[in-house]
Amino acid sequence: MSSRDNSAGCPELRRERRWSRREMLCAGGLFGLGLSLPELYRARSLAAGSASTFGRARSVIMLYLHGGHAQQETWDPKPHGPDVARGEFGAIATSLPGVHVGELLPLSARIMHRLAVIRSLSHGNANHVQAALPAMTGHAHPPAAESRGDFPPSPADFPPFGAVLGSLRPARRLPTWVQVGPTMRRNNGTLLHGQFPGFLGRRHAPLVIDQDLRTNNVRLDAVSSRDEVPALRLTNRGRLLAQVDRQRRQLDQTGAAHGFDDYHQRALSLLSSSETARAFALSAEPAGVRDRYGRTQFGQCCVLARRLAEAGVPMINVHYCHTPENSWDTHGRHFPQMKNLLCPTFDRAFSALVEDLAQRGMLDDTLVLATAEFGRTPQVNRSGGRDHWPWVYSVALAGGGAAAGVVHGASDNSAAFPAAQPHDPRDLAATVYHLLGVAEGTMISDQAERPHHLIIGRKIDGLLA
């Protein structure tokens, strides 16, 4: 159950009184959707009961742990559960009295008072490729699709948060949606769903940063200032052409290659913006700050994500997938990988990101969401691994209107099924859209002008401040 009551209402908006900064931020987000003042009041009225958090998030940083992090070794340990579910590691106390997390997350345990954790997310699709779609969009494929296994994304797929924001709030000097890390794919080459703009079209695709970020003087190939372009053309021409060709092949797989040139031209136009250059200048970050996050690929992706949020980029996806730190799809050697690599890398970067945002005064309007497509099995297989398990899993949120110091929902004694307050990805997506100031009832249209309901779940009030 939730550890606090989030049912308090909020004051009405009145023209005759001065608006608070939080309400002004919310209003700005809603006007960005093209709402008139009467529609603005109506949208706030629809959010009654939690309007103090409606539109609180100026930016969202989604940390996607592809493969699925084990709830038992992270946010929902079972130290008193059956041996088969408990695993090799114990639980440790956190900064939130009475709440424990897995012993492999000592730094995150210290900031538990800043986090909202839900331990009762659940759905029924154990396929990585397909389950990524609801995780990224709040919309799943029809049930009949589950029997298809791995199949490529389609231009008819429902669009993810970044593409939707790009449609509702067009970018000006900065991109609306940036993906930091590799485009996620399975070993057979199939691309995960939810990474592409779907039926909104290629013009709403993300700007992709996919290169090694760990060096001191790293320069991002995708975004460089105008005076660097000649040098890049001379020294990195082959690599840049390979990146463009790889991107075009990915688009061919999704059926979205049409419009690629327009998209590429839009990305190149960012090179003339000094604001963009500053936001992406990871090498300008003090060495001590970069060290704090960890000199891992994931850690440096998180530093860049913070810089982008600081500059005002609304949606930043960070992919922890087949980086030099491996993958969370731990079918074998689960416990050594979690202990020696995965959890330490995540724990350091995640805790540093949350604390850094707080110290800079940014956590109040920046939402950090650490999520995945599902969790891992209560049982350990013959290879010492945990397999796919969508029937219960945990995710963590911080800032941007998420509650601080809350554990919502619960799993059973084996971390196998929800025991209280179950929710599915539709509800988590509804919560994110609420924090972004996107009203319930919002409709978006595909390229054939057919309308679609954007939000089909119910926001999780227990996760709201």
Residue 160 within any structural domain of the chain: yes
Question: Has residue 290 been placed in a domain?
Answer: yes
Which residues on adjacent β-strands are paired with residue 420?
A: 410
How many domains does the structure of the chain reveal? 1
Domain-located, residue 165: yes
Residue 252 domain flag: no
pLDDT by residue, tens only, the chain of 465 residues: 544 433 333 333 333 333 444 444 444 444 444 444 444 444 545 544 456 999 999 999 999 999 999 999 999 999 999 988 889 999 999 999 999 999 999 999 999 999 999 999 999 999 999 999 999 999 999 988 989 999 999 999 999 999 999 999 987 788 999 999 999 999 899 999 999 999 999 999 999 999 999 999 999 988 865 454 443 333 343 444 455 455 555 555 554 444 445 555 555 555 556 788 889 999 999 999 999 999 999 999 999 999 999 999 999 999 998 766 678 999 999 999 999 999 999 999 999 999 999 999 999 999 999 999 999 999 999 999 999 999 999 999 999 999 999 999 999 999 999 999 999 999 999 999 999 999 999 999 999 999 999 999 999 999 999
Query: Would residue 111 count as lying in a domain?
Result: yes
Q: What are the b/e assignments for 258-274, b being 16+ CB within 10 Å?
A: eebeebeeebeebbebe
Domain annotation covers residue 248? no
Per the domain annotation, does 346 fall within a domain? Answer: yes
Residue 363 lies in a domain: yes
Pairwise CA distance, residues 82 & 76, whole Å: 14
User: pTM of this prediction?
Assistant: 0.84
Kindly provide the b/e burial profile for residues 233-243, where b requires at least 16 CB atoms within 10 angstroms of the residue's own CB: eeeeeeeeeeb
Q: Sort strands 59-65 and 91-93 into parallel, antiparallel or unpaired.
A: unpaired
Question: 76 near 112, Cβ under 8 Å?
Answer: no
Q: 71 is in which domain, residue-wise?
A: 59-217+274-433
- CATH number for the domain spanning 112: value is 3.40.720.10
Between CA 313 and CA 21 the distance in angstroms is: 19
Cβ atoms of 349 and 296 closer than 8 Å: yes
